[in-house]
Amino acid sequence: MPSINPLLQKRWSPISFTDRMLTDEEIETLFEAARWAPSSFNEQPWRYVYARKNDGEKREKLESLLSEGNAWSKKAPLLVMSVAKLTFTKNGKPNRHAQHDNGSAMENMFLQAASMGLFGHGMAGWDTAKAMEIFQIGDGYEPLTMMAFGEHNPTPTDPAAKEREAKPRTRKEQSEFVFHGEWKEMN
């Protein structure tokens, strides 16, 4: 097996976080990493709404969107909602890579977090329709992913969290998704 960059190895998606709040500088650094992601026509179609654990009403609004299965993330020091701008600013045409480029920016944030001893965990399980409503997000924008950031707590009190985090991480073989000059249908 070829070995990959240690930063890529370090990144993973924990569900247990310590209580340590992220500093303003750390938060700004995570968004700075997003800022430098590549994007189609350099449109930079990512938008974020964030709230720290101690941000009161702002935080409650984000937490109210989370599914039950993602209740673990309510403990995270930082929650971030990503929203894609679906059209190009210069001509109003649909940007079919808006979601793709949001994903690039998310991974930039995750890798930046890992380099700072922090972790980010992406979530699809939340109410995007409610987000449109309570944040009054207009047409042309699509709420995409919620992200939880913080310092990992390696000794969670919840046994279920401990068990989940102890599960081995799995991946497909390269032969299942890399094809040399030909297309193959693979699940």
User: Would you tell me which residues interact with ligand FMN (CB under 6 A)?
Assistant: 12-13, 70, 121-125, 145, 169
3-state secondary structure of 106: helix
Q: Supply the minimum distance, in Å, between the C-beta of residue 13 and ligand FMN.
A: 3
Q: Supply the minimum distance, in Å, between the C-beta of residue 67 and ligand FMN.
A: 7
Using the minimum distance from each CB to ligand FMN, give the nearer residue, 88 or 128. 128
Main-chain dihedrals φ then ψ at residue 174, nearest 5 degrees: -55, -35
Q: Supply the minimum distance, in Å, between the C-beta of residue 125 and ligand FMN.
A: 3
Using the minimum distance from each CB to ligand FMN, give the nearer residue, 59 or 152. 152
Q: Supply the minimum distance, in Å, between the C-beta of residue 10 and ligand FMN.
A: 11
Using the minimum distance from each CB to ligand FMN, give the nearer residue, 61 or 121. 121
Q: Strand runs (DSSP E) across the chain, as ranges? A: 46-52, 78-85, 119-123, 141-150
Angstrom distances, CA of residue 157 to CA of 17, 154, 175: 11, 10, 40
Using the minimum distance from each CB to ligand FMN, give the nearer residue, 64 or 89. 64
- Among 153, 175, 176, CA closest to 165: 153
